[in-house]
Structures are given as structure tokens and as C-alpha cells.
């Protein structure tokens, strides 16, 4: 298996990564053949996965625009994957040249490559941190240097809670981050769910087997269970809805049915 020039030394390119599979769904080039093979297996059960990823990316851009419009210039993007073209920092900087962004991921390939991509960019940083250990995020030197957590901050958890099992208590992790951020901060969540999938649930459930096989269980929570992450926040209209329904830019042509998979929402802390 040929090693791409951008792959960091020591990386086992034969092991699939969730972040690189997501990059493949988005049409990116920062993935290996093992990632593409796993993604294709997943798409056998849910062919619309690229559209699910695209809808999540479009929701992120609208949520960032809302945050900047609300005066927020600090962003923490947890589970960022490889912050390549079209990522959070690009969306933020187009709207606010003075904003600051910290990307966090526990995938060493995503972190190493993200750091190379953002080398020399003083407004952004990439840290190695796991949402299941929120103090890793809050105490990272880059967070302390780049952000002032006494000011409102937007916390983005898009496509990351889907891969944290309840046994790891993601609700407590999100609450820890909430309590460390200033009043007026925003929580932005995008989460996959069986709701909205245009295929029978038993077929969609086979998708989770692909992720379980690569040791990254995909957790499909209900709307009520996703809403629990917003405890301590006031929901921003229109609440927790399918991604295309969250503050769409304008009435549009009918979306691909897969775009309505899962839920998206933004909350503001008191």
C-alpha cells in the first residue's frame, strides 16, 4: 500500500479512521485506501452518507454565521477531523478576520496533518484532545493562549457525540465544558439519528456494524436524548430540527432525502 507524502511517519495507513472516512464522504483527498474501503462498505447500507455529511457541513456554516452575527469571535471545534477546505476556521475567517479558532481531535493523523495545514496561521490552532476528557481541551496551552474563556465562546460538537457511548458519560463532558465557558456562549450540535433516514431502520442499523468493526461504534440517539445535551442552555429558534431546517438561507429546491437525517441545534447559555 503506497504511503501518501502527506501521511505523518508512524501512521498505520491500513487502519480506517472516522475523520478520514468523513473527509472521503465530503469529497476530500486526505484519506487512505483503508478509509475509502470502510466508507464504501458503510455506503452499501446507507448510500446517502455523502449527502448526510454535506448537510452537516452546510449546517455548520449557518451556525457559524449566526454565532458571528451574535458577536462571538471565539470558537472551539471538537472532533474537528482534518481541518481541510471548507472547515470551521475557513467559515469563521470569511465572516470575522479577527476571530480565533481551536480545533480539537483525538485522531493523531488529523491532529498532525491539521497542524501542517494551519502552520503559520496565528488565528487558529489544532490540539490533541478527547471530548471524553474535557479538561484536556480546557487546559490545553493553545486554548489558554488563543482564547479568553471569560468571553462568550461557540463550542461546536458536530458529528462527534455520535461516536461517544453512554458508558463514557458524554452528558457530563458537555456539562463540564458548559460550566467552564462564559455566559452567552453557544453550543452547536449536529448528531446522526435514525430519524429522517429514508431507509428502514433495520437496514440503517447495519451501518453501525461497519463502524463497530473498525472499533468506532456509531451511536444513534433519539431526539430526546440529543436534547439532553442542551441542559443549561436556551435553545435558539427553531430548536432541535433536521439539519436543512435549521435557519435555511432561503426556500430551496427539495433536498436529497438523506439531508434530513439526524438533528441539529444551537443553544445559548444563561
Task: Give the phi and the psi of residue 214 in degrees, each rounded to 5.
Answer: -100, 15
Predicted pLDDT of residue 9: 58
List residues bridging with 192 in a β-sheet.
none
pLDDT score for 166: 96
Number of domains in the chain: 1
Do the domain assignments include residue 97?
A: yes
Q: What pLDDT is attached to residue 10?
A: 58
The CATH number given to whatever domain includes residue 85 is 3.40.50.150
Q: At CA 262, angle to CA 73 and CA 189, rounded to 5?
A: 20
Q: What sign has the CA pseudo-torsion 118, 159, 79, 91?
A: positive
CA atoms within 13 A on the CB side of 177: 29
> What is the structure's pLDDT at 36?
95
pLDDT of residue 65: 98
pLDDT of residue 85: 63
Q: Is residue 22 part of a domain?
A: no
Question: Is 37 domain-assigned?
Answer: no
Closest listed residue to residue 192, CA positions, set 239, 165, 215, 158: 158
Query: Residue 131's beta-bridge partner residues?
Result: none
Range of the domain at 95: 56-198+225-269
Which positions ≥6 away from 44 have C-beta within 8 Å?
none
The predicted structure's pLDDT at residue 153: 98
Per-residue pLDDT of the chain (270 residues; tens, 9 = 90+): 555 555 555 566 788 989 889 999 999 888 889 999 999 999 999 999 999 999 999 999 999 999 999 999 999 999 998 876 678 999 999 999 999 999 999 988 888 888 988 999 999 999 999 999 999 999 999 999 999 999 999 999 999 999 999 999 999 999 999 999 999 999 999 999 999 999 998 888 899 999 999 988 999 999 999 999 999 999 999 999 999 999 998 765 567 899 999 999 999 999
Amino acid at each position: 500500500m503506497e504511503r501518501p507524502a502527506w501521511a505523518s511517519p508512524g501512521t498505520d495507513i491500513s487502519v480506517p479512521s472516522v475523520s478520514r472516512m468523513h473527509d472521503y464522504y465530503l469529497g476530500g483527498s486526505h484519506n487512505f485506501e483503508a478509509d475509502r474501503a470502510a466508507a464504501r462498505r458503510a455506503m452499501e447500507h446507507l448510500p446517502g452518507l455523502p449527502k448526510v455529511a454535506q448537510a452537516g457541513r452546510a449546517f455548520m456554516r449557518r451556525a457559524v454565521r449566526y454565532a458571528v452575527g451574535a458577536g462571538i469571535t471565539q470558537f472551539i471545534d471538537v472532533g474537528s477531523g482534518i481541518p481541510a477546505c471548507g472547515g470551521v476556521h475557513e467559515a469563521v475567517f470569511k465572516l470575522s478576520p479577527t476571530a480565533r479558532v481551536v480545533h480539537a481531535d483525538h485522531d493523531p493523523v488529523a491532529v498532525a496533518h491539521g497542524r501542517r495545514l494551519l502552520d503559520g496561521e496565528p488565528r487558529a490552532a489544532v490540539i490533541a484532545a478527547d471530548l471524553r476528557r474535557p479538561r484536556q481541551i480546557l487546559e490545553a496551552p493553545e486554548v489558554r493562549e488563543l482564547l479568553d474563556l471569560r468571553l462568550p465562546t461557540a463550542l461546536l460538537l458536530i458529528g462527534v457525540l455520535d461516536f461517544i457511548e453512554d458508558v463514557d458519560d458524554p452528558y457530563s463532558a458537555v456539562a463540564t465544558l458548559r460550566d467552564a465557558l462564559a455566559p452567552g456562549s453557544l453550543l452547536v450540535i449536529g448528531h446522526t439519528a435514525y430519524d429522517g433516514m429514508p431507509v428502514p431502520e433495520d437496514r440503517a442499523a447495519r451501518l453501525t456494524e461497519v463502524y463497530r468493526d473498525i472499533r468506532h461504534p456509531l451511536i444513534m440517539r433519539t431526539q430526546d436524548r440529543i436534547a439532553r445535551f442542551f441542559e443549561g442552555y436556551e435553545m435558539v429558534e427553531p430548536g432541535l430540527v433536521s439539519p436543512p431546517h435549521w435557519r435555511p438561507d432561503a426556500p430551496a429546491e427539495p433536498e436529497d432525502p438523506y439531508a434530513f437525517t439526524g438533528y441539529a441545534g444551537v443553544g445559548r447559555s444563561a
